[in-house]
Amino acid sequence: MSSEHNQVQALKAHIALNVHNVERSIEFYQRMLGLEPSKVRTGYAKFDVKNPPLNLTLNEHHFLERGALSHLGIQVSSSDDVLSMREKWAEAGLITRDEMQTSCCYAVQDKSWVRDPDGNEWEVFVVLKDNLPEAAPCECGDKVAEINANTAVPVTSGCCGTTPIGVTRESSVAKAPGC
């Protein structure tokens, strides 16, 4: 057999997320993805996403904390695409958080984030400069937001410190050593 006969044509990625409440999660993902689920059953929903090709399923499952999942993302080709997606999310009523010109995963990136009802973080991002040297431990994906009790401003513990949502890390005062 030739190697071309051994090539597998992948149709799309599949992500199955455990969620606390499938109805609440359906509402979030309808707004995030801009489409209706292709299948809904008791405790289950499926979104058949065309761009990017993705089979996303939501499985209602009772759990106490977030799982081992770090975060999920959609890589796009330009900063304009990041801003366009962020605008779509905001127009759909989702709370977005931007990180522009951020150093993460040993690359410089522009990104915007949303969080689903179970705390799963989704980013849309573009890589502007890749393969940066190692300067400090990468904590990318540690994006679990907290509420600042004094100001009620959502904040995030990110790659290099705590940043109010909607404020770029570069304009934030709090940064971890080495960032």
Q: Which strand ranges, in their side-by-side order, compose the sheet holding 54-60? A: 13-19, 54-60, 44-49, 39-41
Residue 65 lies in a domain: no
Residue 67 lies in a domain: no
Q: What is the CATH number of the domain that holds 121?
A: 3.10.180
Q: Is 101 exposed, middle or buried (0-12, 13-18, 19+ CB in 10 A)?
A: middle
Q: For every one of its 179 residues, what pLDDT tens digit does the chain have, with 9 covering 90 and above?
A: 555 667 877 788 999 999 999 999 999 999 999 999 999 999 999 999 999 999 999 999 888 877 668 889 999 999 999 999 999 999 999 999 999 999 888 889 999 999 999 999 999 999 999 888 877 655 554 443 332 223 333 433 344 333 333 433 333 222 222 22
At residue 43, the pLDDT reads 93
**Tokens describing residue 153:** 């401003």
At residue 73, the pLDDT reads 92
At residue 106, the pLDDT reads 84
At residue 132, the pLDDT reads 82
Are residues 76 and 157 both part of a single domain? Answer: yes
Which residue's structure tokens are 């513990």?
A: 157
Are residues 123 and 149 both part of a single domain? Answer: yes
At residue 62, the pLDDT reads 83
At residue 140, the pLDDT reads 57
Are residues 84 and 151 both part of a single domain? Answer: yes
Are residues 44 and 83 both part of a single domain? Answer: no
Question: Which one-letter amino acid corresponds to residue 73?
Answer: G
Give the chain's domain count: 2
> pTM here?
0.68
At residue 64, the pLDDT reads 81
Residue 134 lies in a domain: yes
Q: Return the exposure string of 15-39: e unless at least 16 CB atoms fall within 10 Å of the residue's CB, then b.
A: eebbbeebeebbebbebbbeeebee
Q: Which among 141, 140, 162, 161 has a CA at the least distance from the CA of 153? A: 162
Distance separating alpha carbons of residues 174 and 102, to the nearest angstrom: 14
Structural domain boundaries enclosing 30: 13-60
Are residues 145 and 85 both part of a single domain? Answer: yes
Are residues 82 and 163 both part of a single domain? Answer: yes
At residue 136, the pLDDT reads 62
Residue 175 lies in a domain: no
Are residues 27 and 106 both part of a single domain? Answer: no
Q: What is the CATH number of the domain that holds 28?
A: 3.10.180.10
Sequence-distant (6+) residues with CB within 8 A of 23 are: none
